[in-house]
Amino acid sequence: MVTSTKLAQQYAAALSRALRLSGVAEEALVEKLLIHLRTKGRMKLLPGIVRALKTDSARAALEKPLLEVAREEDAPAAAAAGAAAAAAFAGAFEDAPASAAPHRGAALALGDASAHATTNIPEAVINKSLIRGWRVRLGGTLIDHSAKQTLVQIYQTIIR
């Protein structure tokens, strides 16, 4: 038996897939979905479908590349260092078996992304809470070279 939550997630996945693959306008697909839900008596699934679409959208936003720097003048150096760190991180897992490297998939995705680092690393976002340094997120993996992270590591070492 399929629960209403699972059914809503399936409808959301089908709608997302149809939007990506077909050349049909978004409004037309949504209208067809509403007609289908009305005829099948499943209009109560609509809030769940919307919730699943929002969740998928938030998950996709976390997968987008992000470069954060503490100061604007650090942005060019941080972009180059972030691309180099991503390439090094991906290279460390390149030949490792999947059982030995749980992050192998993310590392390989980073390697693919770092090969096109100039196009995949976006404009830097200023984040003053980093104090100094930078951090880059590619393929769902965060590489952090900020003073804030260093201070947290020092603090954790002291309290152990």
Which burial class, exposed, middle or buried, applies to 9 when counting CB atoms under 10 A from its CB (0-12, 13-18, 19+)?
buried
The yes-or-no verdict on residue 1 having pLDDT over 60 is: yes
Query: 34 falls in which pLDDT band (50, 70, 90)?
Result: very high
Residues contacting 115, CB < 8 A, separation 6+: 87
- Using a pLDDT cut of 70, give the percent of the chain over it: 79
Inter-helix orientation angle 46-63/26-40, to 10°: 140
**Sheet with strand 141-146: strands edge to edge:** 124-126, 66-69, 133-138, 141-146
Q: Pull the structure tokens for residue 94.
A: 């390149």
Of residues 60 and 107, which shows the higher confidence score? 60
57-106 pLDDT per residue, tens: 998 888 888 889 999 888 888 888 877 777 776 665 556 555 544 444 44
83, 138 contact by CB (below 8 A)? no
Angstrom distance (rounded) from CA 43 to CA 11 = 12
pTM: 0.57
The yes-or-no verdict on residue 23 having pLDDT over 50 is: yes
**pLDDT for position 151:** 93
The yes-or-no verdict on residue 117 having pLDDT over 60 is: no
The yes-or-no verdict on residue 120 having pLDDT over 70 is: no
Which burial class, exposed, middle or buried, applies to 11 when counting CB atoms under 10 A from its CB (0-12, 13-18, 19+)?
buried
What 8-state DSSP symbol labels residue 140? Answer: T
